[in-house]
Amino acid sequence: MRFGILNGGGDCPGLNGVLRGVVKAAYQKNIEIYGFYQGYKGLIELDYEVLTPKKIRGILPKGGTVLGTTNRDNPFHYKGKGDNEYKDVSDALIANASALSLDCLIVVGGDGTMSITHELAMKGLKVVGVPKTIDNDLNSTDQTFGFETAVNTATDAIDKLHTTAESHHRVMILELMGRDAGFITLYAGIAGGADVILIPEIPFTIDNIMAKINKRRALGNDFSIIVIAEGCKIQGHQVVAAENEGNEYNRYRLGGAGEALRQILTEISDLEVRNTVLGHLQRGGSPAPFDRILSSRYGVAA
């Protein structure tokens, strides 16, 4: 038999663990593995490599993905090199899979990639989906790999902000990733002992935040740590940093909630407020042991 594998969407610590698990398990059963580069683009443009255990040696502790990835290329809405407009290349993609005699395609992805994969499965492509995201927000999945690593990174950042907040008697805001889900912010906020934890799932008001800060001040704590998920609504609106061209599943890049909150708190109080955006540091780095194990298990199971 011959299986293909590709990953789509944003990278995530543990992607290489899945790939390694797939290749090692497949090798024992004499299944050949074709690895496609840059997500679905690799299958559309036939950019791939046969993956042997030797080729994937040493990748378990590596962050990112050795296959590369993109959150732009959707076969139902695809613009290749030199194309002026988007077109549906899903039939060509399925024809490529058949010409390569792929018995199955293993797709490692988040909500956007899984929606595309579901549509391809409806058209007859045989697929196995492996859930992936640092956000931990995938339906029917208890925990995604990459989440633990992201929470570790975010907790470390909160610890570091604590010491400087205390020295300077400041309110320090930390904006964390998670699009519309507050898991990273909630877990890191609790683990790092943040004073205010703001997540999209729980509405809040500026008055609530001020009340908590003032309560702390009354007790002699003249600094506070606020963690906020990027998807939180500030005065009724999510803060959008940019539009993601060609990505119909995630049309907007979020970012700026922390800064918007900083401006409001500065205007309405005498507090000295600073904002830090942790950004893609949460997606990078070597996977934590838990994520290495979970991703390996997903790979072997797939």
Please give the residue ranges that form the binding site for ligand F6P (CB under 6 A). Answer: 10, 71, 110, 133-135, 177-179, 230, 253-254, 283
Q: Please report how close the Cβ of residue 120 comes to ligand F6P at its closest, in angstroms.
A: 21
* Burial profile 137-154: b = 16 or more Cβ within 10 angstroms, e = fewer: bbeeeeebbbbbbbbbbb
Closest contact distance (angstroms) between CB of 108 and ligand F6P is 13
**Distance in Å, CB of 189 to ligand F6P, minimum:** 15
Q: How far apart are the first and last CA of the chain?
A: 14
Closest residue to ligand F6P in the complex (CB): 177
Nearer to ligand F6P, 73 or 135 (CB): 135
With contact defined as beta carbons under 8 Å apart, do 41 and 13 qualify?
no
User: Per 3-state DSSP, what percentage of the chain is helix, strand, and coil (rounded to 5)?
Assistant: 40, 20, 40
What is the Cα Rg of the chain in Å? 22
Catalytic residue of the set 135, 137, 195, 291: 135
Give the type of residue at 92. Answer: A
CB of 13 to ligand F6P, least distance (A): 11
CB nearer to ligand F6P: pick between 153 and 275: 153
Residue-wise DSSP of 181-227: --HHHHHHHHHTT-SEEE-TTS---HHHHHHHHHHHHHTT---EEEE
CB of 91 or CB of 248, closer to ligand F6P: 248
Specify whether the CB–CB gap between 108 and 14 falls below 8 A.
no
The closest of 158, 26, 40, 150 to 94, measured between CA atoms, is 40
Residue 250 C-beta: closest distance to ligand F6P, Å:
7
Residue 83: active-site member: no
Nearer to ligand F6P, 178 or 258 (CB): 178
Sequence-distant (6+) residues with CB within 8 A of 2 are 31, 32, 33, 34, 100, 101, 102, 103
Contact 271, 213 (CB under 8 A): yes
CB nearer to ligand F6P: pick between 170 and 179 = 179
What is the closest distance, in whole angstroms, from the C-beta atom of residue 180 to ligand F6P in the complex? Answer: 9
Q: By C-beta, is 77 or 217 nearer to ligand F6P? A: 77
CB 107 within 8 A of CB 7: yes
Amino acid at 15: L
The CA distance from 43 to 8, in Å, is: 12
Q: Catalytic site residues?
A: 135
